Amino acid sequence: MKFTITVNQKQALDLGITNINQAIILGFISEAHSWAEPVVFEGEVYYWASRGIIASELELLGLKEDTIYRHLKSLASLGLIDYIKINKKDCVKLTKKGKTYYVGNKSE
Eight-class DSSP state of 104: T
| Structure confidence at residue 1 (pLDDT) | 82
Q: Alpha carbon 22 to chain centroid distance?
A: 7
Q: Is residue 67 part of a domain?
A: yes
In a domain, 16, yes or no: yes
Domain extent for 66: 9-99
- Write out pLDDT tens, residues 78-101: 999 999 999 999 999 999 999 999
Residue 34's CATH number = 1.10.10.10
- Tell me what the pLDDT averaged over the chain comes to: 93
| Residue 104, domain member (yes or no) | no
Query: pLDDT for 13-39, tens place per residue?
Result: 999 999 999 999 999 999 999 999 999
Number of structural domains, the chain?
Answer: 1
In this structure, is residue 2 part of a structural domain? no
Whether residue 48 lies inside any domain: the answer is: yes
pLDDT tens-digit map of 36-58:
999 999 999 999 999 999 999 99
Cross-sheet strand order for the sheet of 44-48: 37-41, 44-48, 89-94, 81-86
